[in-house]
């Protein structure tokens, strides 16, 4: 079973139908999460889904992303902190001589967790530096006003799993 599962209750999405495509090696799952820059974050507001791409950073156990302190995603997270995320790399097409046999080549990680608004300034700055570090080697200082206007959200991961095809 996945080491990210926090309790012994089976997660409703823990079983993978296509076992031959499942990534069970934690190092390979981490490699995918570390190598991408964008994840798709799925939220739910009562019976209405909301999906948004965000830049993120990963520390091996939690995922961090930033946002303005107002907006749809923040309002939904305040009401329901349960999230799902997807990170996918190495996209391509596996062609076939039969139209219905074309398949997607990919390596994908899907996870579930709970979003936590980070208030600790040290943790916030560290995560923001890691996100900025995805795009530049420059180091920046974050003015107090900018820090106060920025929400940093940590996803405490309950379940993470990987799948690949075409490798």
pLDDT digits (tens, 9 = 90+) for 134-159: 999 998 899 999 999 999 999 999 99
Q: Looking at 58-72, 85-99, 139-153, which range is the least confident one?
A: 85-99
Report the pLDDT value the prediction gives residue 23, as an integer from 0 to 100. Answer: 87
Q: What is the pLDDT of residue 90?
A: 73
Query: Using a CB cutoff of 8 Å and minimum separation of 24, what contacts does 115-122 make?
Result: 115/77, 115/81, 115/82, 115/83, 115/153, 115/154, 115/155, 116/81, 116/153, 116/154, 116/155, 116/156, 117/77, 117/151, 117/152, 117/153, 118/64, 118/152, 118/153, 118/154, 121/147
**pLDDT recorded at residue 101:** 73
> Domains along the chain?
19-165 (2.30.110.10)
């Amino acid at each position: 079973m996945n080491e990210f599962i926090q309790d012994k209750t089976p997660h409703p999405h823990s079983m993978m139908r296509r076992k031959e495509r499942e990534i069970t090696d934690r190092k390979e799952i981490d490699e995918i999460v570390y190598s991408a820059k964008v994840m798709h974050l799925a939220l739910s507001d009562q019976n209405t889904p909301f999906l948004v791409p965000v830049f993120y950073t990963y520390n091996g156990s939690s995922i961090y992303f930033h946002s303005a302190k107002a907006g749809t995603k923040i309002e939904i997270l305040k009401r329901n902190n349960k999230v799902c995320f997807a990170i996918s790399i190495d996209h391509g097409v596996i062609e076939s001589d039969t139209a219905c046999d074309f398949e997607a080549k990919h390596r994908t990680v899907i996870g579930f967790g709970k979003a936590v608004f980070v208030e600790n300034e040290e943790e916030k700055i560290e995560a923001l530096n890691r996100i900025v570090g995805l795009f530049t080697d420059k180091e920046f200082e974050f003015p107090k006003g900018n820090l106060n206007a920025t929400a940093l959200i940590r996803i405490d991961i309950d379940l993470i799993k990987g799948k690949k095809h075409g490798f």
